[in-house]
């Protein structure tokens, strides 16, 4: 492609939510466009990256999946420190998971960086009887409506707390990309300081774009050329 | 899920300081059962970064002269404007260190792929503080008082050439020295310095290279010697490290600083890698008691450990940090200040290099500070961190001052801070000022070590150096050897050498 590369920035995103609401599945759908039925619980934690192309810039998500360790709540502070975005996930068939999600939102508002973009996501929409629009057929065997959390309840809570809000299905892929695109769009330009990659050069005069030191380059060759004396 | 007490742990790691966290990283692909705990509610121990709110709480518990054994005499001072500061907009590092580009730590972060989760910023210029002086002019009887100022230390050959304040003769001596130090471990250079190895570097510079006091101060500053009285042998090693690190990752800088709080960020990345590998993490939990367990067929050598929450644990090995250092250990006084200006003149990019986020200002030993004529016994170093480090909002910066602890140290650090801010005032504008200050003393060791006793390993505290000391890495390797007995040579060679985990290497793939 001959087009000038767009500026590119990294955004640290953390996933929070009760066990088994589908956090890892959402990320897997977003990163690999894949879904695994009966996925094993995530051990420890996971780190994944994925790019999101916007018209004017590229956002590279660095995604931290907190996984089963919520039982000690000890990983969370490490994850959400410096995070620019958080995905707080609940299961629309499980009201207690929304309670847990509210807890995470409060925790983020208390502890995370000011200006963090928080998206509240109700997952497992495929289990809701009222399918998600005509284009997607509800699967026959899941026919019944297992929904226990109404869209209105979660939406009004999200509005109160100024959160982005989506209902998704990691299984069908419904709304998954939309969540990440909405987050990417909501990240304020000013907090995107650490542009890297080819796009950074085009913005050389904007403060902060040229500060990252690349350690993966040829260290020894560089040393020979650049050595001071 | 198996309970903690039922699990047969291979290792319990206590503390999330840099060394324990690097160990967690090194063990993250080993398949070992790892329980990693920290009595603090935050990661990083003495290497931690704290928000303002956390600093307030942290300092309140360490006001006494003994403090927690490592940090003591802590005191927070807020200006009238401090109320408007957003506490979470700040990450103050308790013990910031810069990392030379030739450091083995960076090699290990690259080989373990941990570097992908870090962002490194350039450490730019080194400056010397020049106090205000009252000089009487010879042509008239009037005397003029100059304002305090900063002079940038030339540390490359081009820099020295371009410098206009150094005489041609002095330049020659300086060039000769820089050339000498690049290859100082070879003959015939060794013949020149070995006989003076234990003498002070300053006297060696004066005798061998005819460097005057100003140039000696330049060189001593580049060593970051805490007492300013570094020996010729140690000094040459430090200068060699600096000079040979210049330009390794780009022009104009010899060291880097990890964004978001330096070594703390590396510690957190190590812990995350441990978590990804399946280690269990608990904050706010320490170790209460350790006993040798009775031998069982399954675990012939094991330890019975009681966590601070009274939970009993069985583990093959235990690795922890030293809680309280001996009294005679070295002590450093630190004063950290949030400044209401971004002090742009400190962070100008030199040549084609990246915009530096860190600058170093030294107040050499013997500098007269303030009007009462008191002068410094030891050098005072000020590490200036711009908002690019993520440690403060834009339009501000953080100054980390430190000097060897003494009864006068708190006052001297205050004077150094105000003099420094005066020297950075822009004409016609109000002098920059500090909005929030925290003072404390920190104890550390000169040489890091690990004490392996049976199935336990105990790390000493990190040295108080202002630049990362590679000797810190050896104890980590020794602790790894304890946890990983009977490894093959092949496995040992793979220490901290990992491939990217699936999904984490998008950078290279997706860019093409």
How big is chain B, counted in residues?
Answer: 512
In this complex, do A213 and B121 lie within 8 Å of one another by their Cβ atoms? yes
pLDDT category at A204 given cuts 50, 70, 90 is very low
Contact B99, B105 (CB under 8 A): yes
Domain membership flag for residue A221: no
Residue A118: its pLDDT value, please?
96
- Residues B436 and B76 sit within 8 Å (Cβ to Cβ): yes
Question: Which chain A residues are within 8 Å of B155, Cβ to Cβ?
Answer: 228
pLDDT(A143) > 90: no
Is A104 within a domain? yes
CA distances from B287 to A46, A63, B5 (A): 28, 32, 14
Strand-pairing partners, residue B100, are B255
Chain A neighbors of B119, CB-CB under 8 A? 10, 194, 212
Residue A203: pLDDT band with limits 50, 70, 90: very low
What mean pLDDT value characterizes chain A?
76
Residue B402 has, within 13 A of its CA and on its CB side, a CA count of: 26
Is the pLDDT assigned to residue A50 strictly greater than 50?
yes
C-alpha A105/C-alpha A99 separation (Å) is 10
Sort out which chain B residues have CB atoms less than 8 A from A59's CB and list them. none
Burial B120-131 (b: 16+ CB within 10 A, else e): bbbbbbbbbbbb
Give the integer Cα–Cα distance in Å for B146 and B132.
5
Under 8 Å between Cβ of B127 and B361: yes
CA B355, B248, B390, B430 torsion-angle sign: negative
Alpha carbon distance B128, B202 (integer Å) = 16
DSSP A92-108: TT-HHHHHHHHHHHHHH
- Percentage of chain A beyond pLDDT 90 is 31
Q: Kindly state whether residue A205 falls inside one of the protein's structural domains.
A: no
Contacts of A45 in chain B (CB under 8 A): 272, 275-276
Which ipTM was obtained for this model? 0.74
Sort out which chain B residues have CB atoms less than 8 A from A78's CB and list them: 43, 268, 271-272, 281
Contact B503 A46 (CB under 8 A): yes
* Under 8 Å between Cβ of B335 and B410: yes
Phi then psi for B153, rounded to 5 degrees?
-85, 125
**Ranges A111-120, A131-140, B62-71, B282-291: which has the least confidence:** A131-140
Q: With 90 as the cut, is the pLDDT of residue B136 above it?
A: no
Contacts of B102 in chain A (CB under 8 A): 223
What is the token pair recorded at B458?
């105990």
Mean pLDDT of B489-502: 88
Domain assignment of residue A23, given as a range = 8-128+148-192
Q: How far apart are CA B275 and CA A75, in angstroms?
A: 8
Least CB–CB distance from A44: residue in B41, B249, B275: B275
As a whole number of angstroms, the distance between CA B422 and CA B34 comes to 52
Q: Which of A74, A80, A180, A200 to mutate to test the interface with B (most CBs of B within 10 A)?
A: A74
Return d(Cα B474, Cα A219) in angstroms, integer.
Answer: 23
Which of A136-140, A154-158, B52-56 has the least mean pLDDT?
A136-140
A115 touches chain B (CB under 8 A): no
In percent, how much of chain B has pLDDT > 70? 94
CB contact under 8 A, B244 and A227: yes
- Report the residue from B88, B278, B510 with minimal CB separation from A51: B510
CB spacing of A211 vs B122 below 8 angstroms: yes
For residue B421, what are its two tokens?
């801010």
Does residue A117 lie within any of the structural domains? Answer: yes
pLDDT score, position B511: 40
Domain covering B8-46+262-325+446-498 assigned CATH 3.40.50.2300 in the classification: no
For residue A192, is pLDDT > 70? Answer: no
> Per the confidence metrics, is the pTM higher than 0.90?
no
| pLDDT 10s digits, A94-119 | 999 999 999 989 988 888 888 899 99
Of A208, A227, A229, the CB nearest to B388: A208
pLDDT of residue B82: 81
Angstroms from A46 CA to nearest CA on chain B: 5
Q: Is residue A118 part of a domain?
A: yes
CB atoms within 10 A of CB A82: 20
Q: What is the DSSP letter of B137?
A: -
- How confident is residue B506, by pLDDT bands cut at 50, 70 and 90? very low
For chain A, helix (H) and strand (E) counts, in that order, are 6, 7
Residue B354 sits at the chain A interface (C-beta within 8 Å): yes
pLDDT given for residue A41 in this prediction: 58
pLDDT of residue A141: 47
Q: Is residue A30 part of a domain?
A: yes
User: What are the structure tokens assigned to B311, written together?
Assistant: 């939970």
Cβ–Cβ of B155/A228 closer than 8 Å? yes
Q: pLDDT-based confidence at A206, cuts 50/70/90?
A: very low
Contact B99, B467 (CB under 8 A): yes
Q: What are phi and psi of B82, to 5 degrees?
A: -65, -20
**Separation CA A47–CA A10 (nearest Å):** 14
Q: Average pLDDT of B23-48? A: 93
Q: Quick one: pLDDT at residue B120?
A: 94
Q: How many CB atoms lie within 10 A of CB B495?
A: 17
pLDDT digits (tens, 9 = 90+) for B86-99: 888 899 999 999 99
Q: For chains A and B, what is the number of CB pairs under 8 angstroms?
A: 153
Is B317 a residue whose pLDDT tops 90? yes
The residue of chain A nearest to residue B272, with distances taken between CA atoms, is: A45
* Per-chain mean pLDDT for chain B: 89
Around Cβ A91, how many Cβ atoms within 10 Å?
24
Q: Is residue A177 part of a domain?
A: yes
Strands A58-65 and A8-17: parallel
Beta strands in B110-161, from DSSP E residues, in sequence order: 120-130, 134-136, 143-145, 149-152
> If we measure between CA atoms, which residue out of B402, B409, B415 comes closest to residue B466?
B402
Q: Is residue B39 over pLDDT 50?
A: yes
Q: What is the 3-state secondary structure (H, E, C) of B11-75?
A: EEEECCCHHHHHHHHHCCCCCCCEEEEECCCCCCHHHCEECHHHHHHHHHCCCCCCCCCCEEEEE
Number of C-beta neighbours around residue B394 at 10 A: 14
φ, ψ of residue B444 in degrees (nearest 5): -155, 180
B207-230 b/e with 16+ CB inside 10 Å = b?
ebbebeeebbbbbbbbbbbbebeb
- For residue B329, give every residue at least 6 positions away whose Cβ sits within 8 Å of its Cβ, in sequence order, or none: B443, B444, B445, B461
Per domain, the residue ranges of chain B are 8-46+262-325+446-498, 156-245
Q: Which of A193, A196, A226 best tests the B interface by mutation, with the highest count of B CBs <10 A?
A: A226
Q: What is the pLDDT of residue B59?
A: 97
Which residue in B62, B11, B102 sits closest to B456, CA to CA?
B11
Question: How crowded is residue B344: how many other Cβ atoms within 10 Å of its Cβ?
Answer: 12
First to last CA, chain B: 42
Q: Kindly give the residue spans of alpha helices, DSSP state H, lying in B113-262.
A: 157-162, 168-182, 189-193, 201-209, 213-223, 232-245
Which has the closest alpha carbon to A47: A86, A9, A82, A15? A15
Say whether pLDDT at A160 is over 90: yes
Q: Output the pLDDT for position B437.
A: 97
Query: Which 8-state DSSP code applies to residue B89?
Result: G
> What pLDDT, on a 0 to 100 scale, did the predictor assign at position B145?
65
pLDDT recorded at residue B322: 80
pLDDT (mean) for B190-211: 95
A130: pLDDT confidence band, cut at 50, 70 and 90?
Answer: low
At A1, the pLDDT band (50, 70, 90 cuts) reads: very low
Query: Mean pLDDT across the stretch A9-30?
Result: 86
pLDDT confidence bin for B1, thresholds 50/70/90 = very low
For residue B161, the model assigns a pLDDT of: 80
A109 touches chain B (CB under 8 A): no
Tokens coding B425: 């005032």
pLDDT above 90 covers a percentage of chain B that reads 63
What is the arithmetic mean of pLDDT over A200-214?
50
Q: Tell me the fold of B156-245.
A: Guanine Nucleotide Dissociation Inhibitor; domain 1 (1.10.405)
Average pLDDT over residues A1-29: 80
In the predicted structure, residue B37 carries a pLDDT above the cut 70: yes
Q: Is the pLDDT of residue A193 over 70?
A: no
3-state secondary structure (DSSP) of residue B465: coil
More confident position, B406 or A18: B406
Could you tell me the pLDDT band of residue A73, with boundaries at 50, 70 and 90?
low
B277 — contact with chain A (CB < 8 Å)?
A: yes
Most B-contacting residue of A40, A67, A79, A229 (CB-CB within 10 A), to test interface: A229
Distance from CA of B432 to the nearest CA of A (A): 21
Domains identified in chain A, total number: 1
Residues ≥6 apart with Cβ < 8 Å to B20: B13, B14, B36, B45, B267, B319, B320, B321, B459
Whether the CB-CB separation of B109 and B268 falls below 8 Å is answered with: no
In a domain, A48, yes or no: yes
Domain pair B8-46+262-325+446-498 / B156-245, same fold: no
CATH number for position A188: 3.40.50.300
Q: Which residues contact A169 (CB under 8 A, 6 or more apart)?
A: A123, A124, A125, A126, A132, A175, A176
């Amino acid at each position: 492609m001959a087009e000038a590369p767009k500026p590119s920035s990294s955004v640290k995103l953390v996933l929070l939510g009760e066990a088994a609401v589908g956090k890892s599945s959402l990320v897997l759908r977003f990163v690999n466009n894949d879904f695994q039925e009966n996925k094993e619980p995530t051990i420890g934690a996971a780190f994944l990256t994925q790019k999101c192309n916007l018209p004017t810039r590229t956002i590279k998500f660095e995604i931290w999946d907190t996984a089963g360790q919520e039982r000690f709540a000890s990983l969370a502070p490490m994850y959400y420190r410096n995070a620019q975005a958080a995905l707080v996930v609940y299961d629309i068939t499980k009201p207690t998971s929304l309670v847990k999600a509210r807890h995470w939102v409060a925790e983020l508002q208390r502890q995370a960086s000011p200006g963090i973009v928080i998206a509240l996501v109700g997952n497992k929409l495929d289990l809701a009887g009222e399918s998600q629009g005509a284009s997607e057929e509800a699967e026959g065997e899941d026919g019944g409506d297992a929904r226990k959390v109404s869209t209105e309840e979660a939406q009004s809570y999200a509005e109160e707390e100024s959160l982005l809000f989506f209902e998704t299905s990691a299984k069908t892929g419904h709304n998954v990309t939309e969540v990440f695109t909405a987050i990417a769009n909501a990240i304020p330009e000013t907090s995107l300081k650490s542009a890297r990659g080819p796009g950074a050069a085009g913005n050389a005069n904007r403060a902060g774009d040229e500060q990252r030191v690349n350690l993966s380059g040829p260290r020894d060759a560089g040393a020979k050329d650049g050595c001071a004396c | 899920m198996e309970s903690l007490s039922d699990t047969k742990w291979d290792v319990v790691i206590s503390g999330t300081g840099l060394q324990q966290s690097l160990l967690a990283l090194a063990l993250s692909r080993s398949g070992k059962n790892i329980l990693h705990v920290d009595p603090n509610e935050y990661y990083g121990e003495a290497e931690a970064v704290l928000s303002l709110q956390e600093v307030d709480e942290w300092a309140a518990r360490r006001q006494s002269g003994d403090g927690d054994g490592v940090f003591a005499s802590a005191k927070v001072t807020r200006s009238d404007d401090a109320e408007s500061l957003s506490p979470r907009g700040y990450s103050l590092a308790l013990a910031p260190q810069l990392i030379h580009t030739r450091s083995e730590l960076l090699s290990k972060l690259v080989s373990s792929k941990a570097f992908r989760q870090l962002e490194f910023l350039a450490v730019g210029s080194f400056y010397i503080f020049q106090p205000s002086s009252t000089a009487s002019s010879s042509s008239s009887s009037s005397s003029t008082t100059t304002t305090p100022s900063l002079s940038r230390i030339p540390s490359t050959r081009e820099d020295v050439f371009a410098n206009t304040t150094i005489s041609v003769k002095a330049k020659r001596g300086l060039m000769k020295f820089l050339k000498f130090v690049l290859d100082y471990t070879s003959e015939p250079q060794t013949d020149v310095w070995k006989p003076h190895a234990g003498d002070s570097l300053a006297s060696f510079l004066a005798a061998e290279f005819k460097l005057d006091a100003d140039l000696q101060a330049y060189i001593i500053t580049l060593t970051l010697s805490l007492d300013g009285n570094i020996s010729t042998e140690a000094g040459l090693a430090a200068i060699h490290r600096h000079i040979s690190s210049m330009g390794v990752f780009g022009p104009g800088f010899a060291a880097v600083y990890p964004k978001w709080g330096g070594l703390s960020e590396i510690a957190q990345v190590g812990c995350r890698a441990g978590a990804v590998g399946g280690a269990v993490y608990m904050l706010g939990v320490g170790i209460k008691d350790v006993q040798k367990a009775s031998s069982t067929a399954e675990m012939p050598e094991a330890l019975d450990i009681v966590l601070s929450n009274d939970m009993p644990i069985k583990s093959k090995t235990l690795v922890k940090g030293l809680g309280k250092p001996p009294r005679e250990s070295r002590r450093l006084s630190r004063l950290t200040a949030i400044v209401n200006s971004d002090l742009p003149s400190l962070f100008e990019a030199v040549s084609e290099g990246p915009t530096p986020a860190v600058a170093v200002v030294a107040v050499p030993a013997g500098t007269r500070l303030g009007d009462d004529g008191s002068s410094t016994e030891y050098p005072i170093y000020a590490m200036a961190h711009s908002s690019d480090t993520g440690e403060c909002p834009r339009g501000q910066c953080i100054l980390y001052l430190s000097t060897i602890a003494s009864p006068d140290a708190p006052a001297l650090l205050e004077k150094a801070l105000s003099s420094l801010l005066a020297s950075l005032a822009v004409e016609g504008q109000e002098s920059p000022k500090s909005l929030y200050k925290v003072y404390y003393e920190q104890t550390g060791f000169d040489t890091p070590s690990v004490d392996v006793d049976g199935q336990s390993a105990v790390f000493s505290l990190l040295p108080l150096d202002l630049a990362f000391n590679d000797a810190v890495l050896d104890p980590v390797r020794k602790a790894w050897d304890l946890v990983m007995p009977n490894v093959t040579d092949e496995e040992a060679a793979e220490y901290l050498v990992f491939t990217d985990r699936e999904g984490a290497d998008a950078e290279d793939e997706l860019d093409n």
